[in-house]
Amino acid sequence: MLRLNGVGRRFPNNVIALDNITTRIEPGAFIALLGPSGCGKSTLLRILAGLDTPDTGSLTWDDNTPPGPGDIGFVFQDATLLPWANAEANVFLPLRLAGKSLETARPIVRDTLAQLGLAGFEHAKPTELSGGMRMRVSIARALVSRPKLLLMDEPFAALDEFTRHRLQDDLFALWREARTTIVFVTHSIYEAAYLASRIIVMSPRPGRIAAELTCTLPDT
Ligand code: ADP
Ligand code: ADP
């Protein structure tokens, strides 16, 4: 899907967040970015999303086709939702920004909510939902445009263990079915080993790749 060629990112305060990152994101992969705080995981994710740009090195997309609108879904760490809007309106947002009307988009929005186990919660506001459900809405919003690449920054970190395992299992099943390429950030080796087809381990000062592991997935 894409290659990172010696990607570096230095912030104006002279912190080197990323140093010479070379790797590839293969289509259909489920990649865990693992490492301690400050090793550059979020910076790398933001660069993949096009929310930040490298100072050195480059990203090469397959067929030299950079992603267009809707090709990348991003899930922020705190499941940022519009607080005044219900689940349906939150998930509709990317399609609204793409110029679609709610009438035409509603079936896709409803399908996506249902895929994330949120059928019946279309009209619930974020304050009426649990943390796990807010994260599900956030993931539904990232998936509604059927992106080629789904990026998630610590999607499970704020959840209790039970909710986390259920969401992990649902996401894994979703990935198995749709084969959307996924890159997610985690601090947990367990989470990485449970979900990922490949693990990129990063180390800080400066942010480098310490190891890359190819995982054997359970054949369920
Ligand atoms: P991680 O997600 O692994 O915790 P980050 O990518 O957030 O790491 O940060 C990597 C390093 O870059 C850290 O030392 C952090 O303090 C620094 N950093 C991140 N964003 C900025 C910024 N906007 N300005 C200055 N320094 C930053
Ligand atoms: P261990 O002794 O290694 O902790 P257990 O035998 O206690 O393992 O439990 C492992 C079981 O927990 C697995 O069969 C798996 O189905 C279930 N499980 C569910 N979610 C997770 C998860 N995120 N990480 C690890 N195990 C999980």
pLDDT per residue of the chain (220 residues) written in tens, 0 to 9: 999 999 999 999 999 999 999 999 999 999 999 999 999 999 999 999 999 999 999 999 998 888 888 899 999 988 889 999 999 999 999 999 999 999 999 999 999 999 999 999 999 999 999 999 999 999 999 999 999 999 999 999 988 899 899 999 999 999 999 889 999 999 999 999 999 999 999 998 889 999 999 998 766 5
pLDDT of residue 118: 95
Instruction: Return the pLDDT at 106.
Output: 96
* pLDDT at residue number 71: 92
- Would you state the pLDDT for residue 64? 86
CA end-to-end distance (rounded Å), the chain:
25
Q: Which of 42, 44, 51 to mutate to test the pocket of ligand 1 (most atoms within 8 A of CB)?
A: 42
Distance 17 CA to ligand 1 centre (A): 6
Ligand 2 atom nearest to 194, measured from its CA: 24
**CA 8–ligand 1 middle distance (angstroms):** 13
How much is the pLDDT for 79?
Answer: 81
Among protein residues, the one whose CA lies closest to atom 25 of ligand 1: 11
- Ligand 2, atom nearest to 169 Cα: 20
The minimum-distance atom of ligand 2 relative to the CA of 191 is 23
pTM: 0.86
Centre of ligand 2 from the C-alpha of residue 219, in Å: 16
What tokens does 30 get? 């489920």
**pLDDT of amino acid 220:** 53
* CA distances for 146 relative to 32, 96, 117, 150, 179, angstroms: 20, 14, 17, 9, 11
Q: Counting ligands in written order, which one lies closest to the CA of residue 14?
A: 1
Closest residue to atom 12 of ligand 1, CA basis: 17
* C-beta neighbour count of 203 within 10 angstroms: 14
Using the mean position of ligand 2's atoms as its centre, give its distance from the Cα of residue 187 in Å: 17
What is the distance between the alpha carbons of residues 46 and 53, in angstroms, rounded to a whole number? 8
Nearest CA to ligand 2 atom 27: 165
Ligand nearest to the CA of 171: 2
CA distances from 55 to 5, 43, 59, 209 (A): 12, 12, 11, 17
Ligand 1 pocket list (CB less than 6 A)? 11, 13, 15, 17, 35, 37-43, 207
